[in-house]
Chain A
Amino acid sequence: MAEPLLALRNVETYYGPVLAIQGISLEVREASIVALLGSNGAGKSTVLKSISGFVEPQKGTIRFAGQDLPGHEPDAIVGLGLSHVPEEREVFPFLSVRENLLMGAFTRRDRDAVRADLERMYGLFPILRERLDQPALSLSGGEQQVLAIARALMASPKLLLLDEPSLGLSPRLVGEIFTVIRRINGESGTTILLVEQNAGKALEVAEYAYVIEVGRIVMEGSARDLADKPDIREFYLGLKEQGVRSVRRWKRKKLWR
């Protein structure tokens, strides 16, 4: 079996003295969509930041496309083919939409292909074509999210890390974003590691998923299996089985560790 595109082994990251994630091991196979689920503060974003070089893990190994990532600067990691769309979106507020997209291709030298990719982005996200010369600041939250994803794709990454792409969006936009995620993966074979609180949507698009709680991975499996597990159904999908008493919740949750 081929080496996975991304493999984390026993990764441990601290913020100062505070342990944020511990013993994280996960794999992302080429051309797949993998979801990382968990509630607020579980450490999902820290996993992504450890991968993309924004925080340095104290322990463990992170291998991406045959290279060890820790020790690389974040900008060098983008050059290796790994783009991270942060939760805060972080568009360049005073640059136009077009300039934002061009900056996404900063690490590339193939100008013609960049121009073709620009057109491809306008095809994937028609809203960006309409807003081309507007400063990114003037875009709505959903439009900024779309721009942030498109900007990351402009780097033509092998692996895209998406941190809560649906956060703060209207239900209709959430649907659109997930349609786009599926299209990106289907059309260009871009591998995606998706961090989400919206477990229902994430499990629909992902093939495999990990569940993270208080800094540890507590459950993993194919998306279909996870979607059928009673714990996931109750705590992440909000679907309560008949006969389960809510008073027993804490006990069942504890079994996961």
Chain B
Amino acid sequence: MQGLNDFGQMLLSGASIGCVYAIVALGFVLIYKASEVINFAQGDLMMLGAFLGYTFIGVLGMPFLVGVGLAMLCMGLVGAALDRVVLRPMVGQPVFAIVIITIGIGFVIRSVVIVTPGWGTETYTIAAPYAGGVSALGGVTVGNEHLAIIIAAIVLIAALYAFFRYTTLGLAMQATSQSQLAAYHVGIPVKTILSMIWAISAATAALVGVLLAPVTFVHVNMGFIGLKAFPAAVLGGFGSIPGAIVGGLIIGIVEALAGFYLPQGFKDVAAYVLLLVVLALRPQGLFGQTAAKKV
């Protein structure tokens, strides 16, 4: 019975970290689908969002949900500004150059955090009202901070799904992702739409950044979680949103189980071993769209 409980716990905590990977991967995929650019700064955007959340909640003493909302809003503006100021002038340049720029953006964000008074290289935590407690789910006890991530991810994904599926603006974002040229032809303001997509990616990253804080603390290097979210996106088939979500969950769970049942050291490579196996069997990823995209 104890073994089953352990397994259930590993499954749930793995799933919660998997949700973090999934949301960060979702950010990768949204930007990639819209502009063919892989945004390597995605993890650092999450880190910056976490620092903002820490400042609003921990330093300024705002209520938790207000602080989360404000951090998302600020990061949305940061995302849109990055697109407007840094990426839009690069339109028409080779994609790899733009990808390198996103790596540069990541470095800049880390430097800015390090030199900001009150942030620096210290480790902080965010006092979430639910943190520290546990909940029992069908005989499995699970930490509230893990549960909160899972619930928030489900709500976020449902909201994004409804937005992309049923609103005109969401449809226009899908349309722009499928063909920028056609989007121009029907009068969709493509450049504005791209900025909005950056805003959504950055805001969702901020959400998981703040929620992750009670689990792993806020630190300038927490953005390296992007290195795990990237295989999650590839595993799902880069460019597929359901793929990013499932890929993130799988990697989170496999990592947790490997950390518990396998000798030390396997936890960190498990994601990449899994990725190699899946890509060997299914090169387009789990949910890869095989139809060629016209650009």
**Residue in B178, B188, B289 with the greatest tally of chain A CB atoms within 10 Å:** B178
State the A residues within 8 Å of B (CB).
Answer: 52, 54, 73-79, 83-86, 88, 90-95, 99, 102-104, 106-107, 137, 151-152, 155
Q: Across the interface, do A78 and B168 meet the contact criterion of CB distance under 8 Å?
A: no
Q: Which of B168, B172, B174, B187 contacts A79 (CB 8 A)?
A: B187
Query: A107–B168 Cα gap in the complex (Å)?
Result: 11
Query: A92–B174 Cα gap in the complex (Å)?
Result: 9
Interface residues on B, range: 20 to 34
Q: Shortest distance in angstroms between B92's beta carbon and chain A's nearest beta carbon?
A: 13
Query: A85–B187 Cα gap in the complex (Å)?
Result: 12
Q: Across the interface, do A90 and B181 meet the contact criterion of CB distance under 8 Å?
A: yes
Residues of A within 8 A of B171 (CB): 95, 99, 102-103
Q: Across the interface, do B172 and A90 meet the contact criterion of CB distance under 8 Å?
A: no
Q: Shortest distance in angstroms between A216's beta carbon and chain B's nearest beta carbon?
A: 27
Residues of A within 8 A of B174 (CB): 92, 94-95
Query: A64–B78 Cα gap in the complex (Å)?
Result: 38
Q: Does B280 touch A at the CB level, under 8 Å?
A: no
Q: Across the interface, do B187 and A137 meet the contact criterion of CB distance under 8 Å?
A: no
Q: Does B186 touch A at the CB level, under 8 Å?
A: yes
Q: Shortest distance in angstroms between A189's beta carbon and chain B's nearest beta carbon?
A: 21
Taken residue by residue from 171 to 184, chain B's Cβ proximity to chain A (1 for < 8 Å, 0 otherwise) reads as 11011001101111
Residue of B nearest to A74 (CB): B184
Query: A103–B177 Cα gap in the complex (Å)?
Result: 13
Contacting residues of chain B (108-160) with chain A, CB-CB under 8 angstroms: none
Query: A73–B185 Cα gap in the complex (Å)?
Result: 11
Query: A54–B185 Cα gap in the complex (Å)?
Result: 9
Q: Shortest distance in angstroms between B240's beta carbon and chain A's nearest beta carbon?
A: 11
Q: Which of B175, B186, B291, B293 contacts A78 (CB 8 A)?
A: B186
7 more contacts with CB within 8 A, not counting A90-B182, A103-B171, are A74-B185, A75-B190, A83-B186, A84-B185, A90-B181, A103-B188, A155-B186
Residues of A within 8 A of B289 (CB): 94
Residues of B within 8 A of A52 (CB): 185
